[in-house]
Structure 1
Amino acid sequence: MKVFISHGSGMDREVEAARKCIVAHLTDRGYDVFTDVDKLRVGDEWHPVLFEEMYLCDAAIVLLGPRTIRESDWVRREAEVLMSRHIVRSLRTVLPVFIGTQDTKEARRRGFGHLLNIQAEFGRRESNPMPEGTDVTQFAEWITAEFAPIVGPVGVASEFHQWASRISGFLRSARLRDFDTVVDAATALCCTDDEILHVRARVGAELFLAHVLLREGEKVRDGEADSALPGALAALRPGLLGNQLTQLKEEIVPGWVDPADAEVFASPPADGTAKDRPLVLLSAYAEWTAEQHVRRTVYNAPGSYRLRGLPESRQIRADESTAEEALMAMCNAALKTVFGVPPNMPLAPGHVRQRQTGEYLVIDSTGRQLRDIAAVVNRIHADFPWVTVIVLIPDGAPSAETLRELGIDRAVAVTLSHDVELRAFRLDQMLGDVAGATG
């Protein structure tokens, strides 16, 4: 894993001492640690190299002393880039270390407010709280304790990076055909002057803008303002060919989903218990909304999931089967599509096995009895325990007591505001209109 250290060690003696100590400790633990003084050689073009390292790192440390805070514009810019990644959760770990200064007013004035907020959170926690004072050794030990020794491959951070990299690929294509398109897109996204500077950089610019596009989804969740994504997509239109704009639209739309909610939809382990059989109660109206959560869960990776919903419950049954039997038949038909079972082959546990691809079934509760749904879900999980069943319950999940009575108390409820669902659906339509306008 790659660790990026931002510092102004030439300005503060304590920062320089901390940098050397931290680099030694983390290197011993198996991390690839980047600092400009250690990795850049005489003659290297330092500006693009730093941007590339900031967007490739899996964790970051920002070392700040009093002179660094007052005088270093470059460290401030590095902190902005790292925090931009942190906000959209493509960079899980950003560790700020303020050494030899308690001047929070000056730090906020200079643009380090987000780092101060993280510092306060670390200071309040019970396990391994951030130390205070100027003891360099103590700070280095605290940082080291935050990094477990490397014992395996990089996890979800790399999956997010692959997602952002796919988006940056479209941006790179647009930039090569018409450089102004990416700058116009950044302007449409209301990027600051410093962010525009990052977009104009030769290395890392497209990856930076990809993170800005994904971060825009927060406005859909918060409802603070209309999304700038349609304007940004329109600005990119002259630089993209064929269906590239539609493909880019499909990549960025799932960014509106809350990452914390998306984690609930992750596929279960193969050796799970009965309690691990995945059942999600989503307070939403549309199958589209459920699929958006799944796409956010798998970082929209191609071929990473198979999902199927059911026909509307208003269809009249052609026989005398009960509501539960009719629902079970519809679920089996949908599952055959999910599993890739030929039409005339019966659906039996012996025919299918759990695959790497996540497999999802969506059941709309509208017009159906929850008791029938619960019985069918339990029958499905008895044969195919790994299938994630998503039940759309617009009015919200029933009480815990009701779920216990129905035998589905393993269900996890995800509460989604209907206003958010409506804004997200409208955004998808608007982006579709923009992408379709390319001719």
Structure 2
Amino acid sequence: MLEARGGCALKIFISHGSGKDAEVVEALDIIAPQLSDRGYDVFTDVEKLRVGEQWSPALYEEMYLCDAAIVLLGPNTIAESPWVRREAEILMSRRIVRSLKTVIPCFLGASNTKTARERGFGALLTLQAELGQREKNPLPAGELTRRIAQWVLDEFAPVAGPCGESAFFEWTKRVSGYLRVARERDYESLNDMAGALCCSAEELLHVRASVGAELFLAHLLFRSGELVQQGQGSLLPAAVAALRPSLGAGRSGLAAELMPSWVDPETAACFVPSPSCSEEAPLILLRAGGSWAAEQHIKRALCNAPRAFTSRALHANGAIPMDESTPEEELLNDCFAALEEIFDIPPGYTLDPGLVQPRPGCREYLVINASGHDLEDVASVVNSLHKDYPWLVIIVLHPEPLPAGKLLDDLGLTRAVKVDLAKSLEMRAYSFMRSLEDVAGIAS
């Protein structure tokens, strides 16, 4: 479940009468915990946030920042609670100006509509009538509390994700943003995408939900990308292709966000050095054929966050030196040229370790292809660079097999983390990425 009250979940505000109606209490006891279980950050207003005629600033904040709201009303709440009426006015005003898409009214018990209008709940009554007439999940007739509570829950798709991973939540939100644009242009577009993913009947129900449907579908897209790891074919390219009519050129942005989804998250974690290992310069030995694999692991590790990293990759050695430099010196000079770009060294300046510092919020990566180089030369260059730039994450692409521990010890590379990317997985991943590029119109 997503971390509660931590800013990395959709916020749901529930307005109610603080125990004035038994039906409201029953509905609240059903709805609130189940929404929390589905991954939402649920806030229920309480009397302690109201002092005299004043509201706590926290109550205002929750009402103005929530992503959806539920208003639970019973006859006593309508007659005796000016607080709920004021909350309803604020929430409906946000809906009118389109800063809040979803407000769900629930009139429970033997409510008198005339009294409700006289008490200022007319806008909610009108909205309730609209919800009762719509084709998709219409408000059920009658006053059975549990049935209405279930109707409310059906409006919210489960969006639970990795516990406490705010960066991953932001990633899924970026993906869901593309899906939201597609749905606004063509309401059936997400159903088409879900069909391309071969979703189950239950999953299709969640895709049609009023709240969280895009996030739910984003999780399904990531899950489809992860099938590449399991040796299965992914339907993700076909799913992106299903949005061609509604998303247009935006498919390229969506595909770019989803591209690293094939990478195993636990493997990708190796590409972000742990703070506990800060005394050791970060070094990764990756068995892979191309720098694209390293870049995809970096993006997966950092949840593809914009401007979260900068990297440069050196090509495999194969050129004849233009001067009398040794292969080691040639490699070191190539690394210096790449570092000037990584560290944004201005024209006319030379690389100076004393003037270069780590940039907050941005990790810096250098990818060295060891093919065609003696491992002794690579080790010497890596250790030299880490002496001056100990925070620089160096990824060495190495052909199989990866060097054994004894050899790494002898070369001063004991700190290296070895990541062995199976050839079969590398082949599937590359095919997956090319398929995504094709359906999204991304130039290779």
Question: TM-score category by the smaller chain?
Answer: 0.5 to 0.7
Distance 1:327 1:265 in 2: 23
Partner of 1:161: 169
Distance 1:398 1:342 in 2: 38
Aligned 8 A contact 2:285 2:418 in 1:
yes
The residue correspondences of 1:94-173 to structure 2 (distance < 5 A) are: 157-173=165-181
CA RMSD of superposed structures (Å): 3.3
The residue correspondences of 1:409-428 to structure 2 (distance < 5 A) are: 409-428=414-433
Is 2:244 the counterpart of 1:237? yes
Aligned 8 A contact 1:332 1:347 in 2:
yes
Choose the corresponding residue for 1:2, options 4, 7, 11: 4
Distance 2:442 2:381 in 1: 44
Structure 1 residue 201: Cα displacement? 1.0
Partner of 2:390: 385
Q: Which runs of 5+ in 1 are unaligned?
A: 5-15, 48-72, 93-154
Is 2:405 the counterpart of 1:400? yes
TM (normalized to structure 2)?
0.66
SS of the residue 1:220 aligns to: coil
Structure 1 residue 348: Cα displacement? 1.2
Q: Cα 1:325–1:91, aligned 2, differ >3 Å: closer, same or farther? A: same
Partner of 1:127: none
Structure 1 residue 323: Cα displacement? 1.0
Partner of 2:254: 248
Is 2:213 the counterpart of 1:205? yes
Is 2:344 the counterpart of 1:285? no
Partner of 1:361: 366
Aligned 8 A contact 2:157 2:207 in 1:
no
Amino acid at match of 2:176: S
Choose the corresponding residue for 1:223, options 224, 228, 231: 231
Is 2:337 the counterpart of 1:333? yes
Structure 1 residue 37: Cα displacement? 13
Partner of 1:304: 308
Task: Give deviations 1:216-264, integer Å, cap 9, x for gaps.
Answer: 122101112x21012101101111133x111110000111110001111
Distance 2:296 2:403 in 1: 23
Q: Cα 1:190–1:36, aligned 2, differ >3 Å: closer, same or farther? A: farther
Structure 1 residue 394: Cα displacement? 2.8
Choose the corresponding residue for 2:269, options 252, 263, 272: 263
Choose the corresponding residue for 1:91, options 153, 162, 170: 162
Structure 1 residue 193: Cα displacement? 0.7
Distance 2:439 2:45 in 1: 42
Q: Cα 1:208–1:429, aligned 2, differ >3 Å: closer, same or farther? A: same
Q: Cα 1:178–1:41, aligned 2, differ >3 Å: closer, same or farther? A: closer
Distance 1:37 1:212 in 2: 36
Aligned 8 A contact 1:168 1:210 in 2:
yes
Q: Which runs of 5+ in 2 are unaligned?
A: 10-25, 48-68, 74-102, 107-148
Aligned 8 A contact 1:221 1:257 in 2:
yes
Aligned 8 A contact 2:315 2:368 in 1:
no
Distance 1:36 1:192 in 2: 36
Partner of 1:151: none
Task: Give deviations 1:253-312, integer Å, cap 9, x for gaps.
Answer: 111110001111114549931xx2100011111100000000011100111100101133
Q: Cα 1:74–1:362, aligned 2, differ >3 Å: closer, same or farther? A: farther
Amino acid at match of 2:367: V
Partner of 1:323: 327
Aligned 8 A contact 2:229 2:262 in 1:
yes
Q: Percent identity?
A: 44
Distance 1:398 1:378 in 2: 16
Partner of 1:150: none
Partner of 2:97: none
Amino acid at match of 2:343: F
Q: How many residues align?
A: 320
- Regions of 4+ moved over 3 Å: 31-41, 267-271
Q: Cα 1:401–1:81, aligned 2, differ >3 Å: closer, same or farther? A: farther
Q: Cα 1:262–1:380, aligned 2, differ >3 Å: closer, same or farther? A: same
SS of the residue 2:228 aligns to: helix
Structure 1 residue 42: Cα displacement? 1.6
Q: Cα 1:46–1:390, aligned 2, differ >3 Å: closer, same or farther? A: farther
Distance 1:271 1:349 in 2: 22
Distance 1:291 1:396 in 2: 21
Is 2:72 the counterpart of 1:42? yes
Structure 1 residue 418: Cα displacement? 1.2
Q: Cα 1:285–1:199, aligned 2, differ >3 Å: closer, same or farther? A: same
Aligned 8 A contact 1:2 1:34 in 2:
no
Aligned 8 A contact 2:315 2:369 in 1:
no
TM (normalized to structure 1)?
0.66
Amino acid at match of 1:2: A
Structure 1 residue 362: Cα displacement? 0.4
Q: Cα 1:360–1:323, aligned 2, differ >3 Å: closer, same or farther? A: same
Partner of 1:129: none
Structure 1 residue 350: Cα displacement? 1.7
Is 2:182 the counterpart of 1:174? yes
